[in-house]
Structure 1
Amino acid sequence: MQAPLIPAIIAVGVIVVLSVFFYFVPFFLWLSAKVSGVKISLMQLFLMRIRNVPPGVIVPSLIEAHKAGLSNITRDNLEAHYMTGGHVQRVVHALVSASKANIDLSFEKATAIDLAGRDVFEAVQTSVNPKVIDTPPVAAVAKNGIQLIAKARVTVRANIHQLVGGAGQDTILARVGEGIVSSIGSAVSHEEVLENPDSISKLVLKKGLDAGTAYEILSIDIADIDVGKNIGATLQMDQANADKNIAQAKAEERRAMAVAQEQEMIARAQEARAEVIQAEAEVPKALAQALREGNMGFMDYYKLENLKGDTAMRDNISKIKPTDFFDKK
């Protein structure tokens, strides 16, 4: 039972040893490099494994660069870029594309762009083939109060030299939106903008919106423009309603003050009436006192009573209406 197991164990051991050997010494990658004309030794490939640098990334990139005629790209450069967290294959693709398109892009510049977090290969492609960015709907109000909603298409080309430290696509969209709002807002009427929508793009392009960005704006085209609300009329209606509410509040305040003043006058009249009644109650006492003390004679009292009766009679006569003299049927 043990004799047949020995060859199997030896075969498994040989397979494991060969797997480990070819992992640390990628012979076929070395052979592919030699066939492609790239100078690299098995020891260098082994040391890549020791440094945790995958030869499967470095060697194909070296072959691509060599075939494209980029002799300034070395193995040490690619290893250093990989160990700093860069995308080696993306950088090599970008350098090859830039070389074919006659774009001045050095290895140091490409790696700096890549380490800055930008897709350097996409940037080169955008530099060769400009891309179109659609802006979201931008609402603005002309001087006559009519709202316009515009959509623009911005054609941009990547600015290789501004990719490191330059603003991105969001800044372009924000600046273009600001320019559209400013252009529509400066128009006398919305009809003027509808008749010449290209005036918006011309005015926006003059402002140099691509300054300090990673893109160069080639053109701005107004794709669509719609008429929105009458903001001016809405604001006037709101102002009129506000003025009406203020006037109503002031009128209510005046009415409340008038009611308060009326109630105050009624209260004062009631107080005066009470004082008169109280004074009238003191009159008989004063007359009696005057009669007792001899300050007033009987005839004086009699004349006073006649005066009071005459006054009451005149008061009653003044209250009689002319129609009271005729019989009512």
Structure 2
Amino acid sequence: MDAITILFIVGGIIAFFLILYIFPVNLWFTALLSGVKVSLINLVLMRLRKVPPALVVNAMITSTKAGLNLTSNEIETHYLAGGHVNNVIKALISADKANIPLDFKMATAIDLAGRDVSDAVQLSVNPRVINTPPVAAVAQDGIQLIAKARVTVRANIRQLVGGAGEETILARVGEGIVTTIGSSATHKQVLENPDRISKLVLEKGLDAGTAFEILSIDIADIDIGENIGAKLQTDQAEADLKVANARAEERRAMAVAQEQEMKAKAQEARAKVIEAEAEIPKAMAEAFKDGNLGIMDYYRMQNIQADTDMRESISKPKGSKK
């Protein structure tokens, strides 16, 4: 065989596989045997629209065998919208077998919303248990309680589009636990009847607007925490003590200031007395000069002064200084 013949053979093989790729006869034949009506031209157009024909054909075969009436156009549209075709088909089959009302439009909307529609259907059949993190709350007697709950939920198919998720359920249950414990007169009431929390929380309708339906709320554990009331009273007493000490220190400082002020006034008065005493000799000299004071008057005044000093020295206790 020469080179030209080999080239023709290779080209023929490549052309044959290319034709089989563009015209997926095997898929068309498989669909025909499975009772799925899809034309070969439609499969070729899927190639041109960059839609995997095998994905569409297999989905149609699976849905047809399950008794679902889906068209290739519906499946192709959902794929082009970025959806997960296999998950939607699986969810529709599971919902049909479990007698859960779910049509193709709702299933595709849930899938395009970013939720796993197959997992949602399974969750509708088999409820899930969500464990809440420890929730701390304080009863009216000041004792802190730490509660853990198990929330049994199942998916609400009609609320999956636009409904809140598990985080909202956990937040609402935690809020309900805090409210219930906080409204209890004593922590003993909660410990004696933990189901009281479950009943009050369920009555609040916490699953409204969420993608789940709460079936039950079970309190798994309740631990006693700190005595918050006593701690707050202790902190308040310490704060009051600091305020009292500050006020006492303020009063002491004011008293010291007043004492110093009185000492200053006493020194000032003493200075005025000394100043006045310094004027006495001048006045006496003037009196002698003017003849208003005689020598005998002066001696009598000295005797009186000496007698006064002697009396003062006798009246003072021993060891005291003037």
Question: Could you tell me the TM-score, scaled by structure 1's length?
Answer: 0.91
1:101-140 correspondence to structure 2 within 5 Å? 101-140=98-137
The residue type equivalent to 1:174 in the other structure is A
Instruction: Point out the more displaced range, 116-125 or 133-142.
Output: 116-125
Corresponding position of 2:304: 307
Corresponding position of 2:64: 66
SS at match of 2:154: strand
SS at match of 2:43: helix
Corresponding position of 1:327: none
Q: Distance in 1 between matches of 2:285 and 2:18?
A: 144
Sort the Cα spacing of 1:302 and 1:217 in 2 relative to 1 into closer, same or farther, 3 A: same
Q: Distance in 2 between matches of 1:115 and 1:167?
A: 16
Sort the Cα spacing of 1:15 and 1:288 in 2 relative to 1 into closer, same or farther, 3 A: farther
Corresponding position of 1:244: 241
SS at match of 2:38: coil
Q: Distance in 1 between matches of 2:223 and 2:14?
A: 72
Corresponding position of 1:21: 19
Alpha-carbon deviations, 1:141-162, whole Å to 9, x = none? Answer: 1111111111111111111111
Q: Distance in 2 between matches of 1:226 and 1:26?
A: 67
Q: Distance in 2 between matches of 1:139 and 1:18?
A: 72
TM-superposed deviation, 1:121: 1.2
The residue type equivalent to 1:222 in the other structure is I
TM-superposed deviation, 1:5: 4.5
Alpha-carbon deviations, 1:215-268, whole Å to 9, x = none? Answer: 111100011111111111111111111111111111111111111111121222
Sort the Cα spacing of 1:7 and 1:137 in 2 relative to 1 into closer, same or farther, 3 A: farther
Instruction: Point out the more displaced range, 98-107 or 16-25.
Output: 16-25
Corresponding position of 2:36: 38
The residue type equivalent to 1:278 in the other structure is E
TM-superposed deviation, 1:11: 4.5
The reply on whether 1:277 has 2:274 as its aligned counterpart is yes
Instruction: Identify the match of residue 201 of structure 2 among 193, 200, 204.
Output: 204
Q: Distance in 2 between matches of 1:317 and 1:61?
A: 129
Sort the Cα spacing of 1:263 and 1:56 in 2 relative to 1 into closer, same or farther, 3 A: farther
SS at match of 2:205: coil
TM-superposed deviation, 1:15: 4.1
Question: CA-atom RMSD, angstroms?
Answer: 1.8
Sort the Cα spacing of 1:4 and 1:282 in 2 relative to 1 into closer, same or farther, 3 A: farther
Corresponding position of 1:81: 78
Q: Distance in 2 between matches of 1:314 and 1:22?
A: 145
Sort the Cα spacing of 1:12 and 1:312 in 2 relative to 1 into closer, same or farther, 3 A: farther
SS at match of 1:86: coil
Q: Distance in 1 between matches of 2:290 and 2:195?
A: 113
Alpha-carbon deviations, 1:184-229, whole Å to 9, x = none? Answer: 1111222221111111101111111111111111100011111111
TM-superposed deviation, 1:299: 3.5
Corresponding position of 1:326: none
Unmatched 5+ stretches in structure 1: 323-329
The residue type equivalent to 1:27 in the other structure is V
Identity %: 65
Sort the Cα spacing of 1:78 and 1:301 in 2 relative to 1 into closer, same or farther, 3 A: same
Q: Distance in 2 between matches of 1:247 and 1:186?
A: 35
Sort the Cα spacing of 1:25 and 1:293 in 2 relative to 1 into closer, same or farther, 3 A: farther
Aligned pairs, how many?
A: 319
Unmatched 5+ stretches in structure 2: none
Corresponding position of 1:50: 48
Corresponding position of 2:218: 221
SS at match of 1:209: coil
TM-superposed deviation, 1:305: 2.1
TM-superposed deviation, 1:24: 2.7
Instruction: Point out the more displaced range, 88-97 or 3-12.
Output: 3-12
